[in-house]
Amino acid sequence: MAVGSPIETVRLSKTYDKTVDALVDLNLKVDPGEVFGYLGPNGAGKSTTIRLLLGLIRPTSGTATLFGIDTWRRTVEAHGRVGYLPGDLRLSDKLTAREQLESLSRLRGRVDGRVRGELCERLGVVLDRPIRQLSKGNRQKLGIVQAFMHRPDLVVLDEPTTGLDPLLQSEVRTLIRETADDGRSVFLSSHSLDEVQHVADRVGVIRSGRLADVDSVERLRERSRRHVTITFAAPADVTSFAAIDGVRVGSEDGAVLRLTAPESAMDALVRTAAAHRIVDFVSQPADLEEIFLELYRESDDGG
């Protein structure tokens, strides 16, 4: 069996019609037992990346390997340890869900019927109705089962919770974390910031075909700005707060001051606030959406 990182790319690039750079010099490595979140809006290059990772399209330059196997030159071999849920899931409308899963199991081999059955029960898959009669959500559940049912070493998911209700979204997140806890890896491509921040160990942010940043969710939060609301016993002069490096005063409403500050400014902020009589002090971390937008602003500014 080939060994190597579940995913590794070296200067992976794809250009269409010699002018459209869909992906540019992607250097990426996903470790065993890791959930890697791949974030970006539609058109950022997420789907192109996945197609290149799976050897579905040929790279213009660079390489992509799964467990050390070049995915373009040895596509079938590379797919042996992978489960995949495409963003544009296509199923045979003539079959029932049960017939579809049985057909896929025969093609793939090494599928434990008990595991498949447990996944179907867990997600509430409608098994004995023709697929053409199923809702988008029920089709999506079927796609999730086929991606996980053979317990692959790497699962590649493109917008996995599309069409699912909140309870099932939570169940899919649990399934993703269980997969990683078992030492297997998940590559989770999504534009849903909430989805990724709940399950990912690291996050890559892609913009216009280029990787803007890669870091853990926690470190991204540490680098981000905190929202601070200070309630004083009496109105305070905001000048001293605005003078602190990195602090942005948002609004002043009588004795209530709202501002944002990086982690590095928090000590100075607390000391400045302590010069006044404080009634309440609330500091909240930014969520991943704000971090995401901040990274995009930095990219626009050439940062």
Q: What is the pLDDT of residue 297?
A: 64
Is it the case that residue 218 has pLDDT exceeding 80? Answer: no
207 and 233 within one domain: no
149 and 68 within one domain: yes
265 and 201 within one domain: no
85 and 37 within one domain: yes
Report the DSSP pairing between strands 256-262 and 7-16: unpaired
185 and 81 within one domain: yes
Segments forming the whole domain that contains residue 50 = 7-216
For 13, the token pair is 């690039």
Looking at mean pLDDT, say which of 77-91, 158-172, 173-187, 240-254 comes out highest: 173-187
Residue-wise pLDDT tens digits, 112-133:
889 999 999 999 999 999 999 9
Q: What is the pLDDT of residue 132?
A: 92
What is the Cα–Cα distance from 202 to 210, expressed in whole angstroms? Answer: 17
Contact 161, 85 (CB under 8 A): no
pTM (whole model) above 0.95: no
pLDDT band at residue 299 using 50, 70 and 90 as cut-offs: low
